Amino acid sequence: MKNKLYIILTFFSLLSYGQIQHCGYDFTSYLVVDVHENGKTENIKNLKITVVDDTGKPLVNVNNLYSWNQGNQIMTFSQNYLVSKEGEKERYFFPYAKDNYFLSITTTFPVDNFSIKIEDSNGVYLSQTVKLYAFNMYILCSSENEKQQRSFGPRTNRPIEVILEKK
């Protein structure tokens, strides 16, 4: 009986030793948009940015197929915001972007099939639609980044730069 227990405990300890530590962002990537006027660096506030299909129809996250957040809702970007307390170093909710807009997506999101539509509800700027590409995704886990570094082409983890024009 002791031998059987020893074998079972040894087996489970080997299994737990062989487990790989996961990244906090496993199965999640982000799209980040830096939207500003030509010649300026600050982001334009209070814009509506949505993911749209090739017909311009907003994408609905049916049963969390495209994102682990906002299930069965239109995929809309949020503007990053400060979470630091007074007297602390400036820190944003999504730490890999400043005052940009961001959207959490799954790592399997078919980004090449969609675009983003930027609209100004105040009517100051012209609306704009921008095609998305795989290199627009923020891949935050090191194993995915290593794979991407070995490939050719534009690098990930850079915001999608959009320059809006006034009406």
Summarize the confidence of residues 89-108 as an average pLDDT.
88
Residue 8 lies in a domain: no
Cα(84)–Cα(17) distance, integer angstroms? 37
Range of the domain at 160: 22-164
- pTM for the structure as a whole: 0.76
List the one residue out of 142, 148, 61 whose CA is nearest residue 106: 61
Residue 91 lies in a domain: yes
Residue 6 lies in a domain: no
Residue 44 lies in a domain: yes
Residue 125 lies in a domain: yes
Residue 1 lies in a domain: no
Residue 9 lies in a domain: no
Cα(126)–Cα(155) distance, integer angstroms? 29
Cα(114)–Cα(97) distance, integer angstroms? 22
Digit-coded pLDDT (tens) for 21-67: 445 455 678 999 999 999 999 999 999 999 999 999 999 999 999 99
Cα(118)–Cα(159) distance, integer angstroms? 14
Q: List Cα–Cα distances, 158 to 57, 60, 100, in angstroms.
A: 26, 25, 11
Q: How confident is the model at residue 4 (pLDDT cuts 50, 70, 90)?
A: low
Residue 5 lies in a domain: no
Q: Is 109 left (phi over 0), alpha (psi -120 to 50) or beta?
A: beta
Summarize the confidence of residues 115-122 as an average pLDDT.
96
Q: How many domains does the chain have?
A: 1
Structure tokens at 101: 């807009």
pLDDT (0 to 100) of residue 150:
45
